[in-house]
Amino acid sequence: MDLQDTNSIEHLFSFLEEHQIPYVRADHIPVFTVEESKKLNLGLEGGATKNLFLRDKKGKRHFLFCVEQSKQVDLKQLPKLVDSSNLSFASPDRLLKHLGILPGSVSLLALVNDEKGQVEVIVDEELWEEEHILCHPLTNTATLSIKKQALEHFIQKTGHLFQLVEVPQQPIQ
């Protein structure tokens, strides 16, 4: 997979324009973690996200879990949600192969690069209660605010379905 072709920010923005998906954009310094993104004061409306790109034990199934950024996810409970025996974080190579992006830029918008529809999409019900969702546009130097209905339209136009689930919170120790 050629990163320059599939990870093209211009391609994503053309896709958004072609499918009439409106957004508000804020450019910022690169952020690599949720903690770094929390320090930004972008003034954008929407639920901030944490995105987990996971694979099953055999590496045959890949999942993009999207939750509200402050949620402490209980990774041990996630396999039950997707009828899998074991899930672990996918490698940067798998992330590049399936979503055409590098670590730090994981977002629902990367589905534009999964033209074969190999990634299963799971969205937390709590996040989906927001009217707008914040997403990186294939780079960790910008954030888009997109209305939930427009984001749903985007996901459908990429050829994906998504499942709304109650992602379990990690128990407080």
Q: Dump pLDDT digits (tens) for 52-105.
A: 999 999 999 999 999 999 899 988 999 999 999 899 999 999 999 999 998 888
* Contact (Cβ atoms closer than 8 angstroms) between residue 138 and residue 109: yes
Element (H, E) at 11: helix 9-18
Per-residue pLDDT band at 34 (split at 50, 70, 90): confident
The contacts of residue 114 (CB under 8 Å, 6+ apart) are: 98, 99, 100, 158, 160
Percent of the chain with pLDDT over 70: 94
Per-residue pLDDT band at 5 (split at 50, 70, 90): very low
Token output for 108: 């629902």
What average pLDDT is seen over the chain?
A: 90
pLDDT at 173: 59
* Contact (Cβ atoms closer than 8 angstroms) between residue 51 and residue 108: yes
Q: Give the 3-state secondary structure of residue 144.
A: strand
pLDDT at residue 4 is higher than 80: no
Residue with tokens 């599939």: 6
